Structure 1
């Protein structure tokens, strides 16, 4: 919570810039365009309409502040997306529901040398398309399942969407749409040897339901083991883990991601409050700003076709604090 408060304090300070809301992009015309683009159905002149327009106007102030740090060509940009009419509290309460189950031990292994300057598991055809968790705090389940289905495909099998809903409903140490932890979900999969079935057999509903059990003879994917480390201060070693093993499930501080449009995030993340789970699928060190390539679960309309880029080094957004690799 400290990171959220600190971020809010910075935004309040920025309000002293003095622009009136009427002069910003939060005009009635822009808000009408936003509502049409994102299919908002609240009625004009209703209480909800007024409240959402105020949130939208506040978002335009926030974007000016966030973009004031974007001084380099690759820097992140912030602006209007599908979350622009949510308050920061609403966004946090619905979409930032992941947590680290415990402090991950620091990585004590060897750092791999001779790493490629750029590496992306998507190039190997083992990363499934971006999904959309909708208004359900299920990012932890998407991150977990994303890692499992990638490792399965790396074994030579056809890349298939596995059931996020099965993890959401059945991982009893987590809280379904109310939040959870990738490491707890992986521990549950390892301990129970539950087989993840295809998403077509157990489709996603964006709400927590009753667990549907399958027989042990039913075809599915079981997790044998996983590792969980902190690579804080050791992101080169994290690069080595990514290249050597698989896409990595990570828990990050995504408070400022509400407004992200594209580019490399280098600021605004304190890494003091882990709240969102993602899948790290690659990295690129060939440009001026080295960055992680991160698949999110907010649909392809968000970010760069559903992806976000986070600067390598400095543990930006806490991306190296809690990182899991899966073994089948």
Structure 2
């Protein structure tokens, strides 16, 4: 019965997980004790041991990639998350020789509307903001299209596109990428550098302060002014040889901002939390990726459920034994009190009998003594009468003699 219940619960739980949720479960489980179950393999595993240069710029390494050399403008729509993730995906497609296009953020903000429930609810809301994790997994499963097919319109209220919005252009969806999510709290510099070298760029989340909007050049190294909200950008390189180490950033605020839309951003200090969350794309799938993790996750879920059930059973057993012991002690105490009361009653009863017997003896003694007194009295009376009779007789005897 228990195993049947576990099967039903597991089956029902699995139906609640869409593909994107299963994907993110895998990526987050990489940071848990279950990591060995989902061990990755392939070219990226050996890449970690390769020497990482002190300075790197994907734009110089891949100068023909349109996405790496183009700066787009999100305008007044809060779609930075879509620009950062589609741009990073287009960079990975280009450096791997799959496609060389400028991506369409418009398709992303209109079509990516699913939420991830694990570990926290993460949703994309078009022009009202989004999350890098959910966006990157949408791209892994649904690919990207070119900006030529679906040009940017600064409007996320339109229905999802099933064909190009521009007439005469055939819709082509570019797939073959896997989203890499190193962490959601703190990412090491080497992980970020590795992501840039593997995918051409990484999408990062950051906090924006007023000073960032006024940036014109140099290394941005302060967070002055009011906090304005969260933002997402791409990092395409770094420089550790400069007097102040920095990341090379491509923003989505047009070419009039910063240095033609780019920025040198302080590296190694997690300024504005820019080194806290990142995603990038690769053509190398993990040994177990999101589409294959459902069975393994179900096994883990069953194991956890069985363990939880065993703990509950053990707790109920211990509590039952404790209750039985308390009941037994209560019964023993009750029996002891009953026995004590019985003994007290018997002693009182015996004492009462003894008192009654002693009273009857005293009464008998009193009555016997009274009887003896009466007998003595009567005896004395008889003796007196006899003495009187004898005296009379003696008197008579005395008179006859005279």
Question: CA distance change for structure 1 residues 223 and 253 in 2, over 3 Å: closer, same or farther?
Answer: farther
**Structure showing greater relative contact order (alpha-carbon pairs closer than 8 Å, 6 or more residues apart):** 1
Shift of 1:198: 1.5
**Is the partner of 1:176 in helix, strand or coil?**
coil
Which residue does the alignment assign to 1:225? 178
Distance 1:157 1:189 in 2: 15
Closer/same/farther in 2, CA of residues 171 and 121 from structure 1, 3 Å limit: same
Write the distance in 1 (CA, Å) between the matches of 2:160 and 2:100: 25
Q: 1:295-306 residue pairs with structure 2 within 5 A?
A: 295-306=250-261
Of residues 173, 176, 201, the one that matches 1:247 is: 201
Aligned residue number for residue 317 of structure 1: 272
> 1:112/1:288 Cα in 2 relative to 1: closer, same or farther (>3 Å)?
farther
Give the counterpart of 1:212 among 158, 161, 183.
161
How far does residue 156 in structure 1 lie from its aligned partner after superposition? Answer: 2.1
Look up the match of 1:168.
Answer: 109
Q: Which residue of 1 aligns with 2:95?
A: 154
Give 2:138's aligned residue.
188
Residue matched to 1:130: 71
TM-score, normalised to structure 1, is 0.61
The answer as to whether partners of 1:254 and 1:269 remain within 8 angstroms in 2 is no
Aligned length: 224
**C-alpha separation in 2, matches of 1:148 and 1:202:** 16
2-side partners of 1:269 and 1:185: how far apart?
Answer: 30
How far residue 287 of structure 1 moved from its aligned partner, in angstroms, is 1.3
Q: Which has the higher helix share?
A: 2
Alignment check: 8 A CA contact 1:269 1:317 kept: no
* Residues 225 and 327, structure 1, Cα contact 8 Å, conserved in 2: yes
- Partners in 2 of 1:315 and 1:248 — Cα distance? 15
| Structure of higher CA gyration radius | 2
Give the 3 Å change call, closer, same or farther, for CA 240–200 of structure 1 in structure 2. Answer: closer
- The match for 1:293 among 239, 248, 251 is 248
Asked if the contact 2:89/2:280 (under 8 Å) is kept, the reply is no
Gap regions ≥5 residues in structure 1: 1-100
> Given the alignment, which residue of 26, 37, 57 partners 1:120?
57
Q: For 2:238, which of 279, 283, 291 is the aligned residue?
A: 283
Ranges in structure 2 where 5+ consecutive residues have no aligned partner: 1-23, 36-44, 115-123, 165-169, 284-402
Evaluate the alpha carbon distance shift between residue 307 and residue 250 of structure 1 in structure 2; reply closer, same or farther with a 3 A threshold.
same
Cα separation, 1, equivalents of 2:245 and 2:195: 17
Matches within 5 A, 1:12-161: 112=49, 114-123=51-60, 124-125=62-63, 126=65, 127-157=68-98, 159-161=100-102
8 Å contact kept, 2:149–2:171? no
Instruction: Decide which moves more: 141-150 or 194-203.
Output: 194-203
Q: 2: distance between equivalents of 1:269 and 1:235?
A: 24
The answer for the alignment partner of 1:308 in structure 2 is: 263
Distance apart, 1:228 and its partner CA: 1.2
Q: CA RMSD in A?
A: 3.1
Separation in structure 2 between the aligned mates of residue 157 and residue 244 of structure 1, nearest angstrom: 14
In 2: Cα distance, 1:106 partner to 1:282 partner:
25
